[in-house]
A = this chain, B = another copy of it.
Amino acid sequence: MTKYTIGLDFGTQSVRATIIDINCGEEIFASIYQYKNGVIDTILPDSNTELPLDSALQDPKDYEDGLVYTIKHILNNTEINKRDIIGLGIDFTSCTIMPIKSDSTPLCFIEKFRDDPNSWVKLWKHHAAHEYALKLNEIAAKRGEDFLYRYGGKISSEWMIPKIMQITDESPKIYDEADYIIEGGDWIVQRLTGRLTRNISCLGYKAIWDGNFPSKDFFKELNPKLENVCDKLSGKVLRLGEIAGYLNSDYQRKLNLARIPVTTANIDAHVAVPATTVVEPGKMVMIMGTSTCHMVLWDRFKKVTGVGEIVKDGIISGYYGYEAGQASVGDAFEWFIRSSIPHTYFKEARDKNISIFNYLTKLTLKLKPGESGILCLDWLKGNRSVLMDADLSGLILGIKLTTKPEEIYRAIIEATAFGTRKIIEAFENSGIKIESLFACGGLAQKNGMLMQIYSDVTDRKINIANSTQTGCLGSAMHAAVAAGYYKDIKEAAKYMSHLKDRKFIPNKNNVSIYNRLYKQYSRLHDYFGLPKNSEMKILTEIRKEVKKVSKY
């Protein structure tokens, strides 16, 4: 008897749902729903309230609408017997949080709070809490808080506590009225099941939790009101793949589904790890899109330079889950294509009846490593790992009057590969061996040239996930575990996740040239990245002064 689970993947612009055959991982039908209000970054919906710079809010109604739309869309388009659907798994962007009442009503649903931006969802990339993160880090350092060590010395402004500090400071009333402050994923679970749970992944990676939160004294020093913040962060803590609850009657009716189990929520990037077949140490999973996340499992805690996110059981139970990242990858390529490809190239592409991307790829493929003499630093959105510094910027070196756009394009791609190699080396320097690479996400699926460059630069074989929707697949896998079909995620991975036949194998000639180029990349990396008074940081300072923008 074939059984199915549904994986729900809540992203930045949309939610995707896929129904999956849990025997083999086959994706039977997928549906996508674009959030109506998308990312709210200038003005609140149905309002005149302008948002501060660097805000990124969302509307929880979009999540619920998307959930209902996509699941109904699936059910209306498949012949599957509903009794064979045995579970629902959820992953979500993180850290994406909102203040709610104890009955799960978001404060932004309540008329009197609707004009206050702090009642809305703060999306993971909401950066307006930057000054609060600075304050938190300063106080934590002064107090010698242990957790700083665990997080690589720095709590990010994207994480839970700085975002709560912003709410508390700017809108104390919202803070007071909120019974809970909750991650989007946990909120969806609460809506579906009626049970308030917290997944250990979000807690561990984003909420300074490792079984306990920091002390009341610490929170009090951030803001006297925050003394009781742990109450607002309470709820049953669940491990990944556990049952958070069962579909409540309201949603049974709305979705026309049975009282099926709903798994605890998970972080979108993390569910991709088992969906890419990886459930053990020695393998790095890269989700490659506008940015890249690198995930690694290891059986012990090891300090890794510039890797601030290490959580026990955070990705796969039984291991420490390590997450590193590069802030701009596909974004950087897109920047280049958008702003630096001359009109003559577009004309050539049109004449050949191919896309500008394919034309550029064609030209780039003709180049040999090292031939252009161009070397880049890939920090167009700062450096996440291993320098953890948002004030760094991109660099192109080696330009000559004869330099062609495809030479710079290739050098930017190579720079992101060098950046990945830096991360691999940071792990290996801590004794965490990275034997081979596993890639998923849009770039990994679509750009073979890029994957070959990554293989040559890192001198490692790269496997590509078979699934183009590793988020949904990973969530469906956790749901299959929760439903008791598999004893754990390792077993689920064995049957449900697969790799493409095409592997990328290092070309030894290229490896040797790239080793030499990487040495130069490393010199630039250290020269510009390490000192506090680097040219890049001073330019950023001058720039901010001239633009008179806020400090972030």
Binding site for B on A (CB under 8 A): 328, 331-332, 335, 338-343, 346, 368-375, 380-381, 393-401, 403-405, 513, 516-517, 520, 523-524, 527-528, 535-536, 538-540, 542-543, 545-547
B397 adjacent to A393 (CB under 8 Å) = yes
Q: 23 A-B pairs, CB-CB below 8 angstroms?
A: A332-B401, A338-B342, A341-B342, A341-B343, A342-B342, A371-B543, A371-B547, A373-B540, A374-B539, A381-B400, A381-B401, A393-B397, A393-B398, A393-B400, A394-B399, A394-B403, A395-B395, A395-B399, A396-B399, A398-B543, A513-B546, A520-B538, A524-B535
Chain B's nearest CB lies how many Å from the CB of A382?
A: 9
User: What chain B residues lie within 8 Å of A400 (beta carbons)?
Assistant: 380-381, 393-394
Chain B's nearest CB lies how many Å from the CB of A410?
A: 13
Closest B-chain residue to A375, C-beta based?
Answer: B539
Q: For A546, give its contact among B370, B374, B535, B547 (CB under 8 Å).
A: B370
Closest B-chain residue to A341, C-beta based?
Answer: B342
A339 adjacent to B403 (CB under 8 Å) = yes
User: What chain B residues lie within 8 Å of A524 (beta carbons)?
Assistant: 535
Closest B-chain residue to A543, C-beta based?
Answer: B373
Chain B's nearest CB lies how many Å from the CB of A324?
A: 20
Rounded to whole angstroms, the CA-CA distance of A396 and B524 in the bound complex is 13
Rounded to whole angstroms, the CA-CA distance of A331 and B402 in the bound complex is 10
Chain B's nearest CB lies how many Å from the CB of A12?
A: 15
B546 adjacent to A335 (CB under 8 Å) = no
Other than the known A380-B400, A520-B539, what 4 A-B pairs have Cβ atoms closer than 8 Å? A328-B401, A394-B397, A397-B536, A527-B527
Highest count of chain B CB atoms <10 Å: which of A346, A398, A399, A405: A399
Rounded to whole angstroms, the CA-CA distance of A165 and B243 in the bound complex is 85
Chain B's nearest CB lies how many Å from the CB of A536?
A: 6
Closest B-chain residue to A397, C-beta based?
Answer: B395
The 10 closest A-B pairs by CB, nearest first: A394-B399, A343-B343, A373-B543, A370-B546, A370-B542, A396-B396, A343-B346, A393-B398, A340-B340, A371-B546
Rounded to whole angstroms, the CA-CA distance of A401 and B328 in the bound complex is 8
User: What chain B residues lie within 8 Å of A339 (beta carbons)?
Assistant: 342, 403-405
Rounded to whole angstroms, the CA-CA distance of A370 and B547 in the bound complex is 9
Q: For A542, give its contact among B328, B381, B516, B523 (CB under 8 Å).
A: B516
Rounded to whole angstroms, the CA-CA distance of A380 and B542 in the bound complex is 26
Chain B's nearest CB lies how many Å from the CB of A413?
A: 15
Chain B's nearest CB lies how many Å from the CB of A363?
A: 12
User: What chain B residues lie within 8 Å of A520 (beta carbons)?
Assistant: 535, 538-539
Chain B's nearest CB lies how many Å from the CB of A48?
A: 26
User: What chain B residues lie within 8 Å of A373 (beta carbons)?
Assistant: 393, 539-540, 542-543
Rounded to whole angstroms, the CA-CA distance of A332 and B403 in the bound complex is 11
B536 adjacent to A398 (CB under 8 Å) = yes
- With A335-B401, A373-B393, A401-B335 already in contact, the answer to whether A517 and B546 are too (CB < 8 A) is no
User: What chain B residues lie within 8 Å of A517 (beta carbons)?
Assistant: 539, 542
User: What chain B residues lie within 8 Å of A340 (beta carbons)?
Assistant: 340, 342, 405
Q: For A380, give its contact among B338, B399, B528, B546 (CB under 8 Å).
A: B399
User: What chain B residues lie within 8 Å of A547 (beta carbons)?
Assistant: 371
Chain B's nearest CB lies how many Å from the CB of A190?
A: 35
